[in-house]
A and B are shown apart, each in its own frame.
Chain A
Amino acid sequence: MSKFKSKDSKGLPAINTSSLPDIVFMLLFFFMVTTVMKETSLQVQVQVPFASEVKKIEKKSLVSYIYIGKPMTQIVALYGTEPMIQLNDKLINDEGIPTESIKDFVLAEREKLDESEKNKMMVSLRIDQGIHMGKVSDVKQALRYANALKINYSAKRDYDNVPVN
């Protein structure tokens, strides 16, 4: 009897928290290693479409991004509401067909890559699903002229929501 009583009277022992920093540090390092800081700030609104047959892009260092969408609400006053093209983080401002800007962009991006990887360069097109194909075709034509032929239509994976019509 007395054995049990003495145990009761002790109260809860304090939990040893000395390994807490270790655990937290482990988590911290995990997130530090996996984190990729966003290097571009979007200036156009892009809602990419859903698709079922998407594949992961393997080497992100080879990828340059072209965004097409309506300007963000903060910059509507400056640029209006017509869809615009953003190359990595630069918004291009010229009217009409952007062949020259895209050519310069592709050349600059290709210059950044290693000699051996220059022909593996890929351009990811992140285009809002409501954009008209005219603008997209212009960009695709420009990419053909710039000889950047590997492209990727960015889309989100959609497992079960198969479009009906």
Chain B
Amino acid sequence: MEFPINGNSFKYNRMARRDTPEINAGSMADIAFLLLIFFLVTTTMDVDTGISRLLPPIPEEEQDTEVDVKERNVLVVLINRDDQLMVSGEVMGLQELKIKTIEFFSNPTNSEILPEMIDLDVDFPPGLSSRFPDGHGTFPVSKGVVSLQNDRSTTYGRYLQVQDILVSAVNGLRVQFAMEYFGRDYNELNPINFVDDEIIKGINTVYKMNISEAEPKNIGGN
């Protein structure tokens, strides 16, 4: 008969032989839930949205940058300190401004008062439209410029509403164009896709977003 010399060695031997006990995973779910709830609470899913604009660069040197623009080619939009709109001399609401802007940029009746239209060759990817199978088309492009001026006391909310209306007017024309010539929805065109990108570029050349903002000044007192 063999007996262990002391109790300790006996204990160790027994431990070594034993299998490692299974880790209790019952609380795993609780821990995971805790983390999950933490992330659920801290997550903000909001995406950044907004209206993008390109500011004009500061002129290199003091030069006479006055460019002669014919009166018919300019749509003057003024916003006064009480957030009222005046478009080429008339007080207007936003919806009227939208209609006016669409008319201004498209000049459907070739009117003498509305901006000049210049025929411009625009290249699209070939084979997409039955109207110009080779992709070359000539379209009337407006020379119109919207001149947006605001007072220092105009509220930003109003200013952005007007910007938004101007963008939506031009976008409306672009949507119409894309539908008419390509049977596509302009807003569904994906700039990552090469062909779509070419279409977008082409349409944006036909309907340019010409918004000029005057150097800041006070309109209608302070």
Interface residues of A (CB under 8 A from B): 17, 20-21, 24-25, 27-28, 31-32, 34-38, 48-49, 51-57, 60, 63, 68, 122, 124-125, 127-134, 136-138, 140-141, 143-145, 147-157, 162-165
Contact = CB atoms under 8 A, between A and B. Distances in A.
Interface of B: 25, 28-29, 32-33, 35-36, 39-40, 42-45, 47-58, 93-95, 150-157, 159-161, 163-164, 167-168, 171, 216
A35 to B, nearest CB: 5
Contact of B55 (A54, A151, A157): A151
11 contacts: A28-B35, A31-B40, A53-B51, A55-B51, A55-B52, A56-B47, A124-B48, A133-B150, A140-B55, A150-B54, A154-B49
A34 B43 CA distance: 8
Contacts of A140: 55
B51 A153 contact: yes
B156 A149 contact: no
Given A129-B155, A152-B52, A24 B160 contact: no
- What are the 8 A-B residue pairs with the smallest beta carbon separation, nearest first? A129-B157, A134-B152, A31-B39, A137-B216, A51-B164, A54-B49, A154-B50, A57-B48
Contacts of B44: 36, 38
A143 B57 CA distance: 9
Of A49, A54, A162, the most chain B CB neighbours within 10 A belong to: A49
A132 B152 contact: yes
Of B39, B58, B163, the most chain A CB neighbours within 10 A belong to: B39
Contacts of A156: 49
A134 B218 CA distance: 9
Contact of A54 (B39, B42, B51): B51
Contact of A55 (B40, B49, B56, B152): B49
A137 B217 CA distance: 9
A151 B150 CA distance: 18
A156 B157 CA distance: 12
Given A35-B42, A56-B47, A153 B168 contact: no
Contacts of A130: 155-157
Of B28, B52, B154, B163, the most chain A CB neighbours within 10 A belong to: B52
Contacts of B171: 53
Contacts of B51: 51, 53-55, 152-153, 155
A25 B160 contact: no
Contact of B32 (A28, A122, A132, A150): A28
A48 B42 CA distance: 22
Given A134-B216, A153-B50, A165-B94, A144 B161 contact: no
Given A28-B36, A144-B55, A157 B49 contact: yes
Nearest to A32: B39
Contact of B160 (A27, A129, A137): A129
Contacts of B42: 35, 37
A129 B156 contact: yes
Given A27-B36, A147-B57, A134 B153 contact: yes
Contacts of B94: 163-165
A102 B200 CA distance: 34
Contact of B153 (A52, A133, A144): A133
A32 to B, nearest CB: 6
A163 B93 CA distance: 10
A136 B58 CA distance: 17
A52 B164 contact: yes
Contact of B50 (A34, A60, A124, A133): A124
Given A21-B25, A24-B33, A60-B48, A132 B156 contact: yes
